[in-house]
Chain A
Amino acid sequence: MEKGLIALAAAIAIGLPALATGWAQSRIGSAGAGTIAEKPELTGIVIILVAIPETMVLLGFVVAYLIISG
């Protein structure tokens, strides 16, 4: 039971930030696509902007790891 709860907690710890990251990236991505269509020279910056929310899922991953490794 306890093992199951730990696994569930770890799954939530990485799952929710993953959803949040995906949602944020979808918004940034669509705005970025519009930006690139008008100013292709900003492609580099847009790629970076899309990568910014990934910090959330990375931290989720670390927390999930800490939960599992106890």
Chain B
Amino acid sequence: MLKVQIIGPRALLDEAVRELHTAAVVHLETMPEEYINESDFLSKLPIEREKLREKETLEKYGERLRNFRALLPQPSSYRTERVALDDIHRLMAEFEPFEERAKNLRARKDELIEELSVINKYEKLLRGFAPIVSRLGGLKNFDITGLTLEKTREDISGLLEAEVSRVTEGIFSIHVKDIDEHTLGVVLTYPRGFGAQVRALLSGKAISEMRLPDEYSEMTLIEALKQMGRRKAELPGLIDGLDGELYSIATRWYSLITGVARAIEDALDEIGVLSYAVATKFAFIIEGWVPAEAYGQLNGRLSTLFGGKLNIRTLEVAGREREAIPVYIKNPRLIRPFEVFLAALSPPKYGSVDPTPFVALFFPAFFGLIVADMGYGAMILVFAAYMRKRLAGKGKRFFRDLASVFIVSAASAIFFGFLFGEFFGDLAERAGLLHPILFNRIEALKTLIIVALAIGIGHVLLGIIIGIVSHARRRDLKETGAKAVYLVLIVSFLSLIGVMFGLLPKAFIPWSAGVMAASFVALVVLEGMLGPIEFIEALGNIVSYVRIMAVGTASVVMALVANRMGQMADSAVLGVMIAALIHGLNLMLSVLSPSIQSMRLQYVEFFSKFYEGGGRLYRPFKKK
């Protein structure tokens, strides 16, 4: 990663920013405040009034487009069009009548939907009230009020009658009718002169008064009922018609709307970037980071376009600034999905090791070793492949990558399943179709423990070696030495254990013990008391790999239980169902548990030996 400085005449600033935006390789950096303050000729670039006005206009456009998009249904397929900055104003003017039209259509649609929902709400009530109201329909100078009561509060109707009688001086009538199983309908008739008092009473008693919607308020209840019936039949058609019109606006404009929205975001980014620039009286300066391999191309591009009026040069990076170098993580396409494992950590420090290639190798290997069943592996593979296909859209990269990781891991499970002769437990072995090539996992637990520990030793030692290389590359001699001594201490200790178990000749004892003692002292000198603690931790880490055996064994035993319980059932159908149920449960656990255990072995046991977080990711200034 190179630190670059771009210097040019202030008149070319806008054009230069636009070109950097298109080049999409510069990670922009603000110049340190103290550097600007100390300088006699540098100052922060003031944003011109015209730019501020443009920014304001673009932000307003952005808001308008968001609202316009919210009014329209998203077409089933559309392609965001490429829109040039100069076309934004023209297109926004073109959108205007359609925005207005969409607003009106949407408002009308909302009204109709509201009316339909009101009709649906009132219909049942109106049908309940209709017979009473038709009897009372001839009364003049009387108000009719419909009320609804919950049946659980039926006692209120008596109280209500007494209160209404008091308020209306006994001139009233009350009719109560069942509307449905939860609701009672009450129709009150009283002289119009008492209307205000009755309403005050009802609102005070927290009783819901059935009020007709405004457009029906002038009608009698019977008329309202008929009108509602008619509207109910025609409203869905009208709403569909409005939807159709909105959809036709959407199909015509959606691609352009998204294109303009994107162009606006890009234009706002370009204005925002001006805050990164500093200026002298006549020139501007922009600093940033560029990957070494992209520098030549950027340099060539700028000199072609600006013919030497713009100067780009690399700057020396030294001291504390090295900590701030952004990290550019670039992996081959095949292992790129495994970068998801870095999402849970802070980005690696510049100059440290990117663990992705190692994870791409070890995560599927551990997952496969734990699951190790051809049947389960095949099912996980099919599911992961299906999910990967479904998650094809933009913005779903994380989950698509996760699906890719599981495809590789499932293939590994199939491979190890073949080696251990497992297909839904011992199903294929019972049928004589499959036999363990390496060993049977249930019968050879001890072998499996040894294999797991051996993997642990290899993985942990590899982690330490990567740590040594990483520190050595940065010429951090003390840390390199400490890590090397740490490695020697662990290896010498393990060789003593090897002698104890008869794996190594006894002649190793004096050598191993001597080296171990010497490296122990050296580690304490270099690392202090933390050294021995780290040593014990590393031994714990190695033993932790036994989980490959333990979780794997639990999975096999559960698969065997599924097959045995299926066999014990009275009928074949029931047997298959029982076995399928337990296998299904085991399959779910086979995705979850081995993933977590395998992930943990990477993060806790492996990464802790070399991974250095605290870096910041390389984010080039590029168009949306």
Contact = CB atoms under 8 A, between A and B. Distances in A.
Contacts of A47: 596, 599
Given A51-B597, A59-B546, A44 B344 contact: yes
Contacts of B550: 58, 61-62
14 contacts: A44-B343, A45-B344, A48-B596, A51-B596, A51-B597, A51-B599, A55-B540, A55-B543, A55-B547, A58-B544, A58-B547, A59-B546, A65-B445, A69-B445
Given A58-B544, A58-B547, A62-B550, A51 B344 contact: no
B379 interface: no
A63 to B, nearest CB: 10
Query: Do most interface residues of chain A lie in helix, strand or loop, or is the interface mixed?
Result: helix
Contacts, number: 41
How big is chain A's contact interface, by range?
A: 10 to 19
Contacts of A20: none
B546 A52 contact: no
Interface string B568-605: 00000000000000000000000000001101100110
B387 interface: no
Nearest to B597: A51
Interface string A40-70: 0011110110011011001101100100010
B543 A59 contact: yes
A66 to B, nearest CB: 9
Given A54-B547, A58-B546, A48 B445 contact: no
A21 B544 CA distance: 14
Contacts of A48: 344, 596, 599-600, 603-604
A32 to B, nearest CB: 13
Interface string B313-345: 000000000000000000000000000000111
Q: Is the interface of B mostly helix, strand, loop or mixed?
A: helix
A10 B180 CA distance: 65
Contacts of B177: none
Contacts of A43: 344
A36 to B, nearest CB: 12
B271 interface: no
Contact size range, B = 10 to 19
Contacts of B345: 45
Contacts of A55: 540, 543-544, 547
A70 to B, nearest CB: 11
A6 B344 CA distance: 44
Given A45-B345, A51-B599, A58-B544, 5 more contacts: A44-B343, A51-B596, A52-B600, A55-B540, A62-B546
Which 8 residue pairs spanning A and B have beta carbons closest together? A44-B344, A51-B600, A58-B550, A58-B547, A61-B550, A51-B596, A55-B544, A48-B603
Interface string B113-139: 000000000000000000000000000
Nearest to B553: A61
Contacts of A58: 544, 546-547, 550
Interface in B344-361: 344-345
A65 B547 CA distance: 13
Contacts of B222: none
Nearest to B541: A55
B582 to A, nearest CB: 21
Nearest to B540: A55
Contacts of A44: 343-344
Nearest to A45: B344
Contacts of A45: 344-345
Contacts of A42: 344
Contacts of B604: 48, 52
Nearest to B453: A62
Interface string B541-577: 0011011001000000000000000000000000000
B446 interface: yes
B513 interface: no
B451 interface: no
Contacts of B547: 54-55, 58
A69 to B, nearest CB: 7
A51 B602 CA distance: 12
Given A47-B596, A55-B547, A59-B543, A69 B603 contact: no
Nearest to A47: B596
B5 to A, nearest CB: 34
A10 to B, nearest CB: 13
Contacts of B160: none
